[in-house]
Amino acid sequence: MSENIRTFGDGDGAVLGSAEQRNRVMRNTYWLLALSLLPTVAGAWLGVATGITRALGGGLGMIVFLGGAFGFMVAIEKTKNSAAGVPVLLGFTFFMGLMLSRMIGAILGLSNGAQLIMIAMGGTAGVFFVMATLASVIKRDISGMGKWLFVGTMVVMVGGIINLFVGSTAGMMAMSVAVIGIFSAYMLYDLKQIIDGGETNYITATLALYLDLYNVFQALLSLLGIFGGERD
């Protein structure tokens, strides 16, 4: 009987510890995600104010973006378990804000540009709220979604590169709609991974959710610019 009591106690403690760990990862992820938005705004403001990214159009912009983004992500992966992980992640979000500034500048050139940016921000926050709510109530394992979402991301990336040279507005609209759908689902997947204990590193979790939010916001802003943009 004493053996049974001890075994139950150890198992119960492991469950509580696991729940505690998941809550800690989620809490730290939310704090770091909120903090990561500040360098993003700073990078976007700097890019718009200085015009430093205006020349990064077409293929050159794609090369700089992909090279910088993947370089930062490799650095984040290498430092995620050290004190350098957070500064590297924040440096990445600053870079992403800088890369976003070209689109922000173009939208601000519209008479209702500021309003469109606010709508895109509100829409992105709404998507996050819905996905966070779903992640907390869905009980089934959705980890199998990951491979399909990855395939979808690759298809959209290839389509985006092709459309970069074709320059089709219809193609851009289709890509934007696909990006919103895929990365909204990715948001659900990444949040569920944290809740279920599949992701235990808050820096990696923050990176995943940040990319989800970034892509949804950018795609929403692109669609709003196409359909709701007003010129003087």
pLDDT for 65-114, tens place per residue? 888 889 999 999 999 999 899 999 999 999 999 999 999 999 998 888 89
Question: Which of the pair, 5 or 131, is modelled with greater confidence?
Answer: 131
Identify the pLDDT of residue 58.
62
CB atoms within 10 A of CB 49: 10
Provide the percentage of residues in the chain whose pLDDT is more than 90.
54
- Where do the domains of the chain lie? 2-228
Cβ(206)–Cβ(32) below 8 Å: yes
> What is the four-CA torsion angle of 133, 228, 216, 59, rounded to 10 degrees?
180
Cβ(72)–Cβ(91) below 8 Å: yes
pTM of the model: 0.87
